[in-house]
Structure 1
Amino acid sequence: MSTGSGADSAPAPPATDPTPVKQTMFSSLRVRNYRLFAIGQVVSNTGTWMQRIAQDWLVLSLTGSASAVGITIALQFLPMLLFGLYGGVLADRLPKRRLLLATQAAMGATGVALAVLTLSGQVQVWHVYLTAFLLGLVTVVDNPARQTFVAEMVGPDQLRNAVSLNSANFQSARLVGPAVAGVLITAVGSGYAFLFNGLSFLAPIAGLLLMRPAEFHRIDRAPRGKGQLREGLRYVAGKPELIWPIVLVGFIGTFGFNFPIWLAAFVDDVFHADAGTYGLLNTLMAAGSLAGALLAARRGSSRLRMLVGAAILFGFLEVVTAFAPTFWIFALMMVPIGMFGLTVNVTANSSVQLATDPLMRGRVMSLFMMVFTGGTPFGAPLVGWVTDTYGPRIGFAAGGAVAMLAAAAVGLMLARAGGLRLSVGWHHGHPQVRFVPRAELAPAA
């Protein structure tokens, strides 16, 4: 079994403090390498959110079609569906810091290229399609490498906390990015948002270069060999605690997370507003997501029943919000939707990583991300068509209903795999719904 060599792989975990760090909301930030990583990511994530808002609004401006926005999103995530598992194999084999230096530079280049096209007045919708597809190709490798690199920086004791803070980092940027993008688009156009995104990748590149490789935790790297894709799939298929959470995030990612389509359509067709309102809705959702991420960082465990419950509530809230009678009710509902959506994402991510052998983590997480984002090439055009044909309210409600039903079905499958059954009864005068061992009698009324 190869353990790798070179500047990115240390012979042993850092010996500066053998005592496990106490778990607090921000405990993983005490690790210098992770702190550098987090600072770089919050800058680049802000740029990423600016580009997402500007890209969606630019496509809508060029075409006037929610379906075209869906096609753009589909093209960005299509490479993950086609090649996602290969990215996981590379993440398991290669030094992750070097890999991330290459992918972050390439992602910055796509932002600069789109900025040049837009600022020169030459941009056409196919340029946006092509840029989205190229960005998706780079993400195939970047995503599993970035997800699994966290374990090398913080070690197993702080992994759950660091995964939650990664999401909090992303959502903090989401608070700022859409608002700034809305102002920039209104004032000077989309091009400067793309330019900021391209330049923002200098921050994570600098953070990676400033890290101390000797302080990385030792993670064995998978040797080169045949059949590693099939090995990863067999590994996941044999573990219900992996396969069912991945199935659930697949349904939710495909049908429940198409917010660029729905929010753009609501702003344009229902509320007749502008890019600033689109940015506001994204910012409110980010506020809820940030709260969900920080609460997840504070929790000490990631239970599968929490995953299923949060997913059911997430889908239910989407259905209710779809028929909100006024703009401000609709806008305020973005907060709990963001909170429960993020809880689903963080709980699934951390529970899958912690249940996976480190040698398999790159392939398992690439499958996780492939299913979560790879369904978008199918879901986004379909949701876009439903939204265009039947209206934003029906499109939004349909996505939420699929997410809610999928969560209920997965909950029943996990209960069956764990030898549990649903028990409905009364406890101290209150109705109670819970899963109990099959041999346990239901509580008496």
Structure 2
Amino acid sequence: KNFSGYAIKCVGTDGSEKNNVVIRDLKVMRDAADSGNWHLIYADYVDDLSVKNVVFSGGLWYAIGISNCDNFIISDCDFIDGKIGGVLAVGSNGIINNSFFYGTAEMPGSYYGCNLRTSPDCRVLSCHFHDFDVATGEIAIGVWFEVASENSIIDGCHFYNIYSYADGFVFGVHLGTDSHHGSVINCNFRNILGFGSGILDVRDKGNAIFNWSSDDCKIGNNNVENCGYGITLMNSVDRTLVIGNRCIDNGQLIDRGGCESTTSPMIFGETVPVISNVLWARNNAEAYEGTYSRKYTKNIAAGSAANVYLTDSTGVSGDVHGLIPGKEYTWTMWMIIPTGIIVASEITLTLRDHNGSTYQSSTANPAAVYEVWQKVTVTRTLRADATSFDMYINVAAAAEDTEYFYVDNIRLQPLGVHNEHQQNFLDNGTDTQVG
């Protein structure tokens, strides 16, 4: 498509609908001459529409827009990249089956795999939604029951590697307003993560399944792993049935972990880090994701160490900063070390607890690789009798003044199936039934 308009357009009228239209076995894409907010395919008042084995690539709006269409079926299609989403269904009902929705590069704006708007009785079956990596501050959603899409079902789908940064929201499934009696069943969710600026709420941490305001829904037999939050019910939700779900290793306990804010990344609820001999500031010279990272610059001559604590108190403080003694946590961050500036072995990540008499800690150093982003991970189970906790980035005394490196996408993750931080299941709803 090298013009401004729909590549394929099929339009009937109310009372004179087109029927049994079939679009199949082709690829629809745009080129550089295309401009404007146009779907690649648009159907209005077309009943029993069938779209099968079509590859959609790089559209400037939704790949396919469906309006006032009864009994549509979209099957065996690929939705690749695009400006805003894969399928938009408005005032329609039908089935989306066995299709793939994914990106191959950062998406320029908010992206919605399937958006059902006033479209009741729809089915999203056996589809894959993955690699949605949206621009800073944008929204990423796998399937969105935006409004009044009652009795719709998501069954047997896979959602993975969906990310947002700064003030963006990110969801695998979002049950919006008045999409009552909806179901999310038999699905897999993995790596649904947000690295927000900490000025929002749980929505900027990444939610596998999020119910904003839809009643009498069922969330059952889903597998949710390594997401910011597992299942979240907001306070305007009534009578949800939550049954048979496996939620494990979810959670993000660092606010502003994407380093997009001028306020330091910190353990949740805290804003003022303890800093010793360091310049610690947001910087746009490097970024693993988003626009900014955090630059750590040693600010003292060799002979003295430097530390940045992501807690607002240190040592024997009598404060575990919201963590749970006896539970296991993993701290991860991405780090890039410039060549010839600082030696990797001089940098240490430390998780440390004190039980009233002794310190114990777990540490990790970055690998001796330079000029590339690397993931650094340290895991610790807090002692059951721990009374104090801190976490910090240390640069050894041997490092020289002004030596520096960058960090980004900082995460503190509670491991396991416990729900001490409400990270696996956050229930603000009314009359929730849990089985």
Instruction: Establish whether TM, by shorter chain, passes 0.5.
Output: no
Q: Which has the higher contact order (CA 8 A, sep 6+)?
A: 1
Task: Give the TM-score normalised by the residue count of structure 1.
Answer: 0.23
- Return the structure number with greater helix share: 1
- TM-score in terms of structure 2 length: 0.24
Which has more strand, going by share of residues?
A: 2
